[in-house]
Amino acid sequence: MMKRVSIALLAVFLDSCSLTSHQAPSQQAEAGDNWTNPGGDAGKTRFSTLTRIDASNVDRLGLAWQAELGTARGMEATPVVIDGVMYTSGTAGRAYAFDAATGKELWRFEPEVDMQFNRTACCDMVNRGVAVAPDGKGGGKVFVATLDGWLYALDARTGAVVWKADFIEDRRKGDNSTGAPEVAGDVVVIGMAGAEYDVRGYVTALDLETGKLRWRWHVVPRDPKLGPQETPELEAALKTWDPNSRWDIGGGGAPWDAINYDPATGLVLVGTGNGGPYATSKRSPRGGDNLYLGSIVAIDPKTGLMKWHYQETPGDNWDFTSTAPMILTRMKIDGEERPVILHAPKNGFLYVIDRRDGKLLRANPIARVNWAKGVDLKTGRPRLDPEAADYTSGPKIVFPGTPGARNWFPASYDPRSGLYYASVLDMGNLIFMTPGAKPHKQRGLNNDAALIFTPDVENAVGTLPPPLAAAVKALPAYAEALRNPGKAQMRAIDPLTGKTVWAQDTEGWQDRGGVMTTASGLLFHGTLSGKLVVRDARTGKVLKEIPTGTSIMAAPMTYQVGGVQYVAVMAGWGGGGFPFTPRFSAAYTRGNADRLLVFKLDGGAVPMPPELPPLEAAPEPPRQAPGVTPALIAKGQGLFFGNCAICHANRHRSITPDLRRMQPGTHEAFRQIVLDGLLLPNGMPRWNDILSVEDADAIHAYLIDLQARTRTDELAKQKAGKPLDGPSLTILSNY
């Protein structure tokens, strides 16, 4: 059957064909029957040419089949479908293959993962997908990276391990992996994560056939006292760092997502991460751009050498990563047809960049921005506003907040309408420095700042010490945050102007699902309340909502087998802020059993997980050990927030244990759990390299005190007929 191909899509196809020497075997110019990588096509536009499901029949959409994955953490991957077989990934690097029409499981890969690496995974044990190389040279393989930094090449037919390779440079550091690999010619490229810890970011290229190291490209220079830099571009970057920078912490820059092979130019495009520690004044005291933090870099996959770079956030001071997914397409700009990158990183701007040379063509804000007053198109540099956003001398409310105007959740670009479709968060957050000098914490948080992100700024400020609260209330941005607390929206945006064509509110600020669009004019996304939503891409109007009972963050995809069009999505709550399960989410009301859901016309209803039982008051804790003092409890509180709170929010129905509700057996084994790794198979790492027995006992004393106070409070609420749960704040700190 002939496919209807738009002029814009045809242009992309011809552009790719004209440079066939660069074409990767796993990529195609458009997404139709197949969806060959997590982004769908060579440009990762997440736009499909399929049209069998359209506005006239989408009301008939129902469940075709589902797969239960046996995990309960964040699902962020988008499946890949090639010739009727679906491949996808899950928690910590598990991988699966299914018959895409029937749902029959063909194989399941469950690697042995060192869960000690969970300690440096700031944002859950997620995985963002697989790469597939079809039969041919280096082909017939499915590539998946595990949380602990091993890349596996699996036989696409059987799931058997063909080879595995360790791509972590230094296992004494905080490196881990949550991103999808990318096939680029005869290499497979993978990034790493952990910039809040003590990492020096890099991407690694491995031989497609053997898994042997071909090259490694570092984002951040190393300490010049160690000798010359590994590459010429790092020697140039060194001039943008203070020679007395915090080289012991590594500098950050982890490129944990956003790796695109561009078949038109033969380059690998990499989005790099934030600086570590967050504050430039602590990381690089004399300032500087700190190349190549917050940048897009173009690397020759044959040599591993950089061809060009563009820095979106020079001297990053705010955790503004450039790791949000990129889209590659063609657009007519200033009278010239250009191959471009569309990129909206955390920092609030949507960039249009020529992918041949990195020239900035457009940069427009898509959310409130106060760290900069705009971007100079001639120099490519932001016009900084230190008065509004420099928090090193006092607290500031910075727009956008560190969750980002955009983040990992994928956008889509429709070449017919020329619109960019995405979830956008328009919200600021409070940032302030924490007191005292901070020594390097090996494999520990080294961010050296406190972040509070919530739309309820007034309530957040009420939790601060009075002098700090007074300083925040005096900020002009505080009044702005009260007037307009912020919200998440699904938007259609003109990428050349940044103007919103339409916007529809989503259910809460944490509700920011990935997007897929189709040539039939439909937009698909999920919600944390557990619905698959189908909208009219022209207006944003909801055409269909399918309740699933499982929170959905990942981007849907679509494919066709035997003339039947299917829509698939991974379902499960997690990711950044994963311990703070929103009360409106399906994860809060029905739990968080991960599922792969696949839909078709005239499918059935989705089986709904049962609702969770009513909350009970916290159980009575054991008595405090002899000699426990208020000072010891305070010490334990500081240690808890410095090491444990990033995973243990101690909120109702978090997907990690609520330590206010520990049972007697957990209290009895507390030292063994915290220090010796008793629950390591469950994802709870050991801490005996950082915490002493005395430290563990202090944390335990704090948690016993917290549990007792929680029980008293909740029993009083029960007696008064009030609900036990309440609003929560998200606080990341390094006290």
Which of 24-28, 251-255, 637-641, 729-733 shows the lowest mean pLDDT across its residues? 729-733
In this prediction, residue 418 carries a pLDDT of 97
Residue 606 is assigned to a structural domain of this protein? no
Residues 104 and 177 in one domain: yes
**What pLDDT digit, counting tens, does each position of 508-524 carry?**
899 999 999 999 999 99
Residues 163 and 22 in one domain: yes
Domain that holds residue 537: 7-601
Percent of the chain with pLDDT over 70: 94
How confident is residue 4, by pLDDT bands cut at 50, 70 and 90? very low
Rg (CA), the chain: 25
Residues 532 and 643 in one domain: no
**What pLDDT digit, counting tens, does each position of 335-382 carry?**
999 999 999 999 999 999 999 999 999 999 999 999 999 999 999 999
List, in sequence order, every residue forming a beta bridge with 557; answer none if it has no partner. 568
Residues 314 and 391 in one domain: yes
How confident is residue 10, by pLDDT bands cut at 50, 70 and 90? very low
Q: Which contacts qualify for 337-340: CB closer than 8 Å, 24 or more apart?
A: 337/11, 339/15, 339/262, 339/264, 339/265
Residues 551 and 668 in one domain: no
Residues 247 and 338 in one domain: yes
pLDDT of 6 > 80? The answer is no
In this prediction, residue 726 carries a pLDDT of 60
Evaluate whether 583 touches 725 at the Cβ level (below 8 Å). yes
Q: Angle between the 630-643 and 693-720 helix axes, to the nearest 10 degrees?
A: 100
In this prediction, residue 16 carries a pLDDT of 34
Residues 559 and 496 in one domain: yes
Q: Where are the beta strands (DSSP E) in 403-478?
A: 412-414, 419-426, 429-432, 450-453
State the average pLDDT over residues 226-231: 95
CA angle 249, 252, 253 (to 5 degrees): 160
Residues 81 and 171 in one domain: yes
How confident is residue 600, by pLDDT bands cut at 50, 70 and 90? very high
Catalytic residue numbers read 319
Percent of the chain with pLDDT over 90: 81
What's the whole-number average pLDDT of the chain? Answer: 92
**What pLDDT digit, counting tens, does each position of 609-653 carry?**
999 999 999 999 999 999 999 999 999 999 998 889 888 988 888
In this prediction, residue 393 carries a pLDDT of 85
pLDDT of 21 > 70? The answer is no
Q: Which CATH number goes with the domain that contains 703?
A: 1.10.760.10
Nearest to 195 by CA among 351, 78, 316, 289: 316
Boundary-marking domain end, from 580, 601, 622? 601
pLDDT of 27 > 60? The answer is no
Residue 503 is assigned to a structural domain of this protein? yes
Nearest to 565 by CA among 604, 528, 518: 518
Evaluate whether 294 touches 313 at the Cβ level (below 8 Å). yes
pLDDT of 24 > 50? The answer is no
Domains identified in the chain, total number: 2
More confident position, 24 or 175: 175
Residue 508 is assigned to a structural domain of this protein? yes
How confident is residue 506, by pLDDT bands cut at 50, 70 and 90? very high
In this prediction, residue 28 carries a pLDDT of 56
**What pLDDT digit, counting tens, does each position of 36-80 carry?**
999 999 999 999 999 999 999 999 999 999 999 999 999 999 999
Residues 569 and 691 in one domain: no
Q: Which CATH number goes with the domain that contains 482?
A: 2.140.10.10
- Using CA of residue 378, residue 380, residue 386, residue 387, what is the dihedral sign? positive
Close Cβ partners of 614 (under 8 Å, ≥ 6 residues apart):
none
In this prediction, residue 13 carries a pLDDT of 30
Residue 1 is assigned to a structural domain of this protein? no
Residues 597 and 642 in one domain: no
List, in sequence order, every residue forming a beta bridge with 207; answer none if it has no partner. 187
- Using CA of residue 682, residue 597, residue 577, residue 146, what is the dihedral sign? positive
Could you give phi then psi for residue 338, rounded to 5 degrees?
-130, 145
In this prediction, residue 563 carries a pLDDT of 97
Nearest to 68 by CA among 596, 609, 612: 596
Residue 688 is assigned to a structural domain of this protein? yes
Which of 136-145, 333-342, 378-387 shows the lowest mean pLDDT across its residues? 136-145
pLDDT of 305 > 70? The answer is yes
Boundary-marking domain end, from 601, 617, 649? 601
Which of 19-33, 171-185, 417-431 shows the lowest mean pLDDT across its residues? 19-33
pLDDT of 732 > 80? The answer is no
pLDDT of 291 > 50? The answer is yes
Residues 636 and 490 in one domain: no
- What strands lie across the sheet with 131-133, from one edge to the other? 131-133, 141-145, 150-155, 161-166
Residue 625 is assigned to a structural domain of this protein? no
The DSSP H or E segment spanning 338 is: strand 336-343
Residue 359 is assigned to a structural domain of this protein? yes
**What pLDDT digit, counting tens, does each position of 191-221 carry?**
999 888 899 999 999 999 999 999 999 999 9
Residues 703 and 579 in one domain: no
Evaluate whether 220 touches 292 at the Cβ level (below 8 Å). yes
Residue 614 is assigned to a structural domain of this protein? no
Burial of 162 (0-12, 13-18, 19+ CB in 10 A): middle
Boundary-marking domain end, from 584, 601, 618? 601
